Structure 1
Amino acid sequence: METNGSISNSHDIQPSDASDIASREKPTEKVVFINHAELAWQERRREWVGDQSQKSRRAPREPIMSWTTTYEDLLLTTEPFQEPIPLAEMVDFLVDIWLEEGLYD
Structure 2
Amino acid sequence: METNGSISNSHESQPSDASDSTNKEKPTEKVVFINHAEIAWQETRKEWVGDQSQKPRRAPREPIMSWTTTYEDLLLTTQPFQEPIPLAEMVDFLVDIWLEEGLYD
Task: Return the TM-score normalized by structure 1.
Answer: 0.58
CA displacement, residues 43-100 of structure 1 (integer Å, 9 cap, x when unaligned): 3211322211022122211100011111111111111111111111111100100000
Does 55-64 or 87-96 show the bigger shift?
55-64
1:84 aligns with 2:84: yes
Aligned residues: 72
Alignment identity in percent? 90
Match of 1:60 in 2: 60
Structure 1, unmatched stretches of 5+, are 1-32
Flag as ranges the 4+ runs of structure 1 deviating above 2 A: 37-44, 47-50
Shift of 1:42: 2.8
Q: Which structure's residues are more often helix, by fraction? A: 2
For the aligned residue pairs, the C-alpha RMSD in angstroms reads: 2.1
Match of 1:93 in 2: 93
Shift of 1:38: 5.2
For residues 91 and 53 of structure 1, the distance between their equivalents in structure 2, rounded to whole angstroms, comes to 27
Give matches, 1:19-98, under 5 Å: 35=36, 40-98=40-98
